[in-house]
Structure 1
Amino acid sequence: MDRIETGLNLIGDCQLAKIYDRESAAEWLCEGYQDIQVWVSGGQERFYVSFGAAADEEPAAFQTLEPRNQPGERVEWVLEDGQPVATILRWFTQVQEGLKRTSIYRGEVLVVTQLGEGQTCHIGYIDALATQNPYELARDTARLLAGIWDCQQAPKLLGRGGRSLGF
């Protein structure tokens, strides 16, 4: 399996598509790989990222991490025979620890997303700070599960830990 990276800087790489004043949220459209659109929606607390021509209607458009989060600025596209089958995106999370609102754990999660019309969804979560070689595990997950994952299932928690995911 080959892979390639593209940028996902909402300010520099993407076009602001819509603003939701009441929720202090917005939607962005970003250029991906081989004309595959990257759709990002979110605001102050949580973001959603999906891919494809109808990205905002795919299951991934309704999936996010439980803690406060924001996506990283690089998308890794996992290719099979030159065609993208999955993406790996590092998300940054903020998990409140204990009763003090000022005590925040800053986590990192690799989200593996399967690509396919009507089947673009999260298939795996990896706590990138607790797992040794998290990208290797993410690539193995993409190679083994992309294209066969049932989007009705919850994404798999892979690797070690889960603190970055809030547990």
Structure 2
Amino acid sequence: MSSFLNRTMIHPRLLMGSALVATLAIGIVLGMFLTTNTVEAQPETTFDGSAALMFHFVKPGATGDYEAVMQKLGEALNETGKTDLAAGWKVYRAGADFTGQGAVPYVWAIDPVVSGANYAAATIINDIVMPDEMQQIFESYNAAFTDGDVKQLPVQLELVADF
């Protein structure tokens, strides 16, 4: 008698398990076909203070690549008429690594900041180059950053004293 009861209980469990597996499979298939693929927007780099510093930590062997991207950034600022951004934007290379990561620190010194303007280098350069060239520039730019934990460090500044 007990074996008869066990067989009758297995059958409903098998049906419930099969129904659950079928529902999951259908959900996965529908999810693959009914979802839309969206491209993420390029991240923005904006500053709201009166001045800003952006530290970039670059691999020692990639300084030439980084500086070439900065040259292209300067061209893009001029060609797109973003002279208000260019007027207060300077790029400096530090004389020594102060990070302990073995990086070459670069500093963007922006004074004055154009409030709300997008200072993302890749976005600005993208306005003047063809897509295939942009891909190469983007890869070169990203590969230049150190493998350490800190690659970029933005600092917004407010003037507290002017001597």
> Does the alignment reach a TM-score above 0.5?
no
TM-score (norm 2): 0.25
Structure having the larger proportion of residues in strand? 1
The structure whose Rg is larger is 2
* Larger helix proportion of the pair: 2
